[in-house]
């Protein structure tokens, strides 16, 4: 299992394809705060709820100085379908190799319906303007998580 990040750690940089196949990197957001959230799969109920919550609050978060990037192991084609089907405005990137998921401690053993499985651990990491971890939330719930982040960040 990969190491979980803690406040003060340097956030691992990444460059991943978005829903249109364009390369998105964490480094290109330097100077802005970034909420990087990790979810198991596009087009599933919990992940749809979470992505819609981020989309609904995107303007509020942007006005507070935060960009939002959603990371899953999906390929760009599936992300594009997800974005179109749900009218998502949040930036979605795919990590089929799971290297970024592992670097952020968002892939490993977890409990699913009482069984231990290996997969994406629903997580959110808030990165500051200098690329340092400000907050790291692991094993979060899809529902209500965005509201909790907004509250925790004092937005």
Q: What is the pLDDT of residues 77-87, one digit of tens each?
A: 999 999 999 99
Closest CA to 136 of 41, 1, 12, 6: 6
On the question of pLDDT at 28 being above 90, the answer is yes
Read off the tokens for 89. Answer: 């405005």
Read off the tokens for 1. Answer: 């299992």
Question: Helical H runs in 33-155?
Answer: 45-56, 58-63, 76-86, 99-103, 145-152
Residue 37 has what pLDDT?
Answer: 97
7-21 pLDDT, tens digit per residue, is: 999 999 999 999 999
87-141 pLDDT, tens digit per residue, is: 999 999 999 999 999 999 999 988 777 888 889 999 999 999 999 999 999 999 9
Catalytic residue flag (residue 52): no
Read off the tokens for 33. Answer: 């705060």
The answer to whether 94 and 72 have CB atoms below 8 angstroms apart is: yes
The answer to whether 11 and 132 have CB atoms below 8 angstroms apart is: yes
**Catalytic one among 47, 61, 79, 126?**
47
Closest CA to 22 of 69, 84, 66, 87: 69
On the question of pLDDT at 1 being above 90, the answer is no
On the question of pLDDT at 2 being above 70, the answer is no
Read off the tokens for 36. Answer: 């990087």
> Mean pLDDT for the chain?
94
Residue 116 has what pLDDT?
Answer: 87
């Amino acid at each position: 299992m990969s190491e979980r990040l803690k406040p003060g750690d340097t956030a691992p940089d990444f460059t991943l394809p978005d829903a249109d196949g364009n390369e998105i990197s964490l480094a290109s957001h330097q100077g802005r705060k970034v909420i990087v959230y990790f979810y198991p799969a596009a087009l599933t109920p919990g992940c749809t709820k979470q992505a819609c919550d981020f989309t609904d609050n995107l303007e509020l978060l942007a006005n507070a100085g935060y960009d939002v990037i959603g990371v899953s192991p999906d390929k760009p084609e599936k992300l594009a379908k997800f974005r179109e089907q749900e009218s998502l405005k949040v930036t979605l990137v795919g990590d089929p190799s799971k290297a970024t998921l592992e670097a952020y401690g968002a892939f490993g053993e977890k409990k699913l319906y009482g069984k231990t499985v290996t997969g994406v651990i629903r997580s959110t990491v808030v990165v500051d303007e200098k690329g340092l971890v400000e907050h790291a939330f692991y094993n979060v719930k899809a529902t209500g998580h965005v509201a909790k982040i907004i509250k925790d960040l004092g937005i």
